[in-house]
Amino acid sequence: MARQRKRKGDPVHGWLGLDKPLDMTSTQCVGALKRLLNAQKVGHGGTLDPLADGILPIAFGEATKTVQWAMDGEKEYVFTIQWGKSTATQDREGEVIVTSDARPAREAVEGALATFVGEIEQVPPKYSAIKVGGERAYDLAREGENFELEKRPVTVYEASVTDAPDADHVTIHVVTGKGFYVRALARDLAADLNAEGHIVKLRRTRVGPFDESSAVSLAEIEAMEDAAARRAVLDPIETPLSDTPALDIGPDGAAQLRQGRTIVLLPHLVEQWRAETPDPENRIALAMDSDTAVALGEVRAGRFQPTRVFQL
């Protein structure tokens, strides 16, 4: 019988709202934190480009089972467009492909920006991680391949101009749903204004419950005394699940769920779930044993059926 390979590191569980620095990839941040906390398993809840800084949720251990909820959460960005040049990547890293003397006034930008609020269709940038025929779009774009990406429905909850320091620059704040590309907004906004422009600065200020008020920088993590001190700043694994009804099923129910069994809910828990669920069609709930997350699952016919069990 083949011997099971032992994972390197310790079983660390929880979330960290990292304030990602410039000029680091999201993958590099994951690698650095895995080393600094001596963790077995680490992932992230939504990529940030090296040219962007700001909130990058990092999941450790069993928290990786809730990554999808972090990625689906609302996001906030603050970004600056420089007018006069469009680049292949829609940011300052790309090759300049078109220039223009047009410099839209702040009022014109505000008027055009208002048309992007709501449910819209957006064509993702060609320099993105979307897969086309099994290949990443950015790889095909770098190789000069000719391809088109399809429009996707996205939601913009808020969009406003926060600054226009000179004729060449405008700074914009947006609150968006999942799947939204800021670089695509900059591209489309410039086109609507008959101008050329690209992003020169981009910061993500919030991902769901992770925001600047509680974020920790990589430098702060590095300055902590040891791995144990770094783990002490982690948030619970259920942090991205704040909109999911949480039901305290007690130690007996927890023991059954950890074995993958369906449990019968007491009537008051069923009523609690009905009162707290934001969408009657969404049957998801979070089973808790006091302050410990036990499982995500579905409530059906008075029973809780586990779909993701947390081994804590």
Residues 6+ apart with CB under 8 A from 191: none
| CA distances to 12, 51, 276, 293, 303 from 299, in Å | 29, 43, 12, 16, 6
Burial of 305 (0-12, 13-18, 19+ CB in 10 A): middle
| CA distances to 98, 238, 240, 262, 270 from 245, in Å | 50, 11, 12, 18, 10
CA distance 175 to 207: 10
CA distance 251 to 51: 47
Single out the residue of 304, 264, 254, 240 nearest to residue 62, CA to CA: 240
* Sheet containing 263-264, strands listed edge to edge, beginning at the edge strand earlier in sequence: 246-248, 284-289, 292-300, 303-309, 263-264
- Catalytic residue, chosen from 10, 19, 49, 289, is 49
- Residue 49 annotated among the catalytic residues of the structure: yes
Among all residues, which ones are annotated catalytic?
Answer: 49
